[in-house]
Amino acid sequence: MNDTDRPDAGAPRKPLEVRCPSCGEMHLYSTDNPYRPFCSKGCKAIDLGAWASEEYRFEAKPTRDELLEDLMDGDEPRH
Ligand SMILES: [Zn+2]
């Protein structure tokens, strides 16, 4: 929590702006912002949500065994 006390030694005078990974808006990168690099709490929540849904999609994919079973079903060797 010392970041705010640190003098801007060697830092550019103009405030640092970053693009919010969630909404794409430029906003001031501030150590006071607990949601950085997001601009707001909402944007951070959206990003976390996207992350969760992506993970869900991954889990929803059929497993290799299921795919193999499907393949074997219609491709049984007959002698
Ligand atoms: Zn945002």
Q: What is the DSSP string of 13-38?
A: SSPPEEE-TTT--EEE--TT-TTTTS
Token duo for residue 3: 């970041």
28: CA distance to ligand 1 center in Å?
Answer: 11
Number of C-beta neighbours around residue 77 at 10 A: 5
Report pLDDT for 40.
Answer: 92
Q: Report if residue 29 sits inside a domain.
A: yes
50 part of a folded domain = yes
- Largest Cα–Cα distance in the chain? 82
Mean pLDDT by 10 residues, the chain (79 residues): 60 78 90 90 85 67 76 68
Taking ligand 1, which is a single-atom ion, which protein residues have CB atoms under 5 Å away?
20, 22-23, 39, 43
Query: Could you give the number of structural domains in the chain?
Result: 1
pLDDT value of residue 69? 81
In a domain, 33, yes or no: yes
pTM: 0.46
Block residue for tokens 């393949």: 71
Angle at 22 between CA 20 and CA 25, to 5 degrees: 40
